[in-house]
Amino acid sequence: MSIFGLGTGGQIIVLQGLSTYSALASAWFFARPVLRGQTTASSKSILSGVASSQEDIKALVVRAQQILNQRENDNLPLARRDNTIAVILLALSLALFTIALLLQVEIEPSFH
Protein backbone atom coordinates (compact mmCIF):
# COMPACT_ATOMS: atom_id res chain seq x y z
CA MET A 1 0.00 0.00 0.00
CA SER A 2 1.30 3.46 -0.87
CA ILE A 3 -0.19 6.81 0.06
CA PHE A 4 0.52 9.52 -2.54
CA GLY A 5 3.60 7.57 -3.65
CA LEU A 6 5.32 8.23 -0.31
CA GLY A 7 7.75 5.92 1.39
CA THR A 8 6.76 4.20 4.60
CA GLY A 9 8.09 7.04 6.78
CA GLY A 10 6.07 9.60 4.83
CA GLN A 11 2.98 7.42 5.05
CA ILE A 12 3.34 7.24 8.82
CA ILE A 13 3.50 11.03 9.06
CA VAL A 14 0.43 11.45 6.83
CA LEU A 15 -1.54 8.84 8.81
CA GLN A 16 -0.59 10.44 12.13
CA GLY A 17 -1.63 13.85 10.81
CA LEU A 18 -4.97 12.53 9.58
CA SER A 19 -5.47 10.75 12.89
CA THR A 20 -4.82 13.98 14.78
CA TYR A 21 -7.18 16.00 12.59
CA SER A 22 -9.88 13.33 12.95
CA ALA A 23 -9.51 13.43 16.74
CA LEU A 24 -9.74 17.23 16.78
CA ALA A 25 -12.81 17.19 14.54
CA SER A 26 -14.34 14.54 16.80
CA ALA A 27 -13.81 16.77 19.83
CA TRP A 28 -15.45 19.67 18.00
CA PHE A 29 -18.51 17.61 17.11
CA PHE A 30 -18.79 16.36 20.71
CA ALA A 31 -18.60 19.98 21.93
CA ARG A 32 -21.19 21.50 19.59
CA PRO A 33 -24.31 20.21 21.41
CA VAL A 34 -22.85 21.35 24.72
CA LEU A 35 -22.17 24.83 23.39
CA ARG A 36 -25.67 25.09 21.94
CA GLY A 37 -27.15 23.89 25.22
CA GLN A 38 -25.19 26.42 27.28
CA THR A 39 -26.74 29.33 25.42
CA THR A 40 -30.26 28.02 26.00
CA ALA A 41 -29.53 27.15 29.63
CA SER A 42 -28.17 30.65 30.22
CA SER A 43 -31.27 32.24 28.71
CA LYS A 44 -33.54 30.00 30.78
CA SER A 45 -31.61 30.90 33.91
CA ILE A 46 -32.05 34.60 33.25
CA LEU A 47 -35.77 34.15 32.60
CA SER A 48 -36.23 32.19 35.81
CA GLY A 49 -35.08 35.24 37.75
CA VAL A 50 -37.61 37.58 36.16
CA ALA A 51 -40.50 38.34 38.46
CA SER A 52 -43.27 40.80 37.86
CA SER A 53 -46.76 41.49 39.04
CA GLN A 54 -47.81 42.67 35.58
CA GLU A 55 -49.68 40.01 33.62
CA ASP A 56 -48.26 41.01 30.24
CA ILE A 57 -44.68 40.60 31.52
CA LYS A 58 -45.56 37.24 33.10
CA ALA A 59 -47.05 36.12 29.80
CA LEU A 60 -43.96 37.29 27.92
CA VAL A 61 -41.67 35.32 30.26
CA VAL A 62 -43.82 32.19 29.91
CA ARG A 63 -43.81 32.52 26.13
CA ALA A 64 -40.02 33.01 26.06
CA GLN A 65 -39.58 29.89 28.20
CA GLN A 66 -41.81 27.93 25.83
CA ILE A 67 -39.73 29.08 22.86
CA LEU A 68 -36.52 28.04 24.62
CA ASN A 69 -38.01 24.63 25.45
CA GLN A 70 -39.01 24.21 21.80
CA ARG A 71 -35.50 25.14 20.67
CA GLU A 72 -34.08 22.52 23.02
CA ASN A 73 -36.36 19.92 21.47
CA ASP A 74 -35.52 21.09 17.96
CA ASN A 75 -31.79 20.72 18.71
CA LEU A 76 -32.07 17.08 19.81
CA PRO A 77 -31.71 15.68 16.26
CA LEU A 78 -28.74 17.98 15.67
CA ALA A 79 -27.13 16.79 18.90
CA ARG A 80 -27.64 13.15 17.93
CA ARG A 81 -26.17 13.80 14.49
CA ASP A 82 -23.18 15.64 15.93
CA ASN A 83 -22.53 12.86 18.44
CA THR A 84 -22.77 10.21 15.71
CA ILE A 85 -20.28 12.10 13.55
CA ALA A 86 -18.00 12.53 16.57
CA VAL A 87 -17.99 8.80 17.31
CA ILE A 88 -17.25 7.96 13.66
CA LEU A 89 -14.38 10.46 13.57
CA LEU A 90 -13.03 9.12 16.86
CA ALA A 91 -13.09 5.56 15.49
CA LEU A 92 -11.42 6.78 12.29
CA SER A 93 -8.75 8.51 14.33
CA LEU A 94 -8.06 5.33 16.27
CA ALA A 95 -7.90 3.26 13.06
CA LEU A 96 -5.52 5.69 11.35
CA PHE A 97 -3.29 5.87 14.41
CA THR A 98 -3.24 2.06 14.66
CA ILE A 99 -2.24 1.72 11.00
CA ALA A 100 0.51 4.32 11.48
CA LEU A 101 1.74 2.48 14.56
CA LEU A 102 1.76 -0.87 12.75
CA LEU A 103 3.72 0.67 9.88
CA GLN A 104 6.19 2.15 12.35
CA VAL A 105 6.63 -1.27 14.02
CA GLU A 106 7.13 -2.83 10.59
CA ILE A 107 10.00 -0.54 9.60
CA GLU A 108 11.64 -0.12 13.02
CA PRO A 109 14.61 -2.52 13.25
CA SER A 110 14.44 -2.81 17.04
CA PHE A 111 11.08 -4.59 16.74
CA HIS A 112 12.54 -7.36 14.57
pLDDT of residue 110: 79
80 touches 101 (CB < 8 A): no
Q: Each residue of 6-30: pLDDT tens digit?
A: 888 889 999 999 999 999 999 999 9
Q: Each residue of 61-82: pLDDT tens digit?
A: 999 999 999 999 999 999 999 9
- Alpha-carbon dihedral sign for residues 2, 7, 8, 11: negative
Rounded CA gap, 58 and 56, in Å? Answer: 5
pLDDT of residue 60: 92
pLDDT of residue 109: 80
- Residue scoring higher pLDDT (94 or 106): 94
pLDDT of residue 1: 64
Give the 3-state secondary structure of the chain.
Answer: CCCCCCCHHHHHHHHHHHHHHHHHHHHHHHHHHHHHHHHHHHHHHHHHCCCCCCHHHHHHHHHHHHHHHHHHHHHHHHHHHHHHHHHHHHHHHHHHHHHHHHHHHHHCHHHC
Q: What is the mean pLDDT of residues 92-108?
A: 93
Q: What is the mean pLDDT of residues 23-41?
A: 94
pLDDT of residue 108: 83
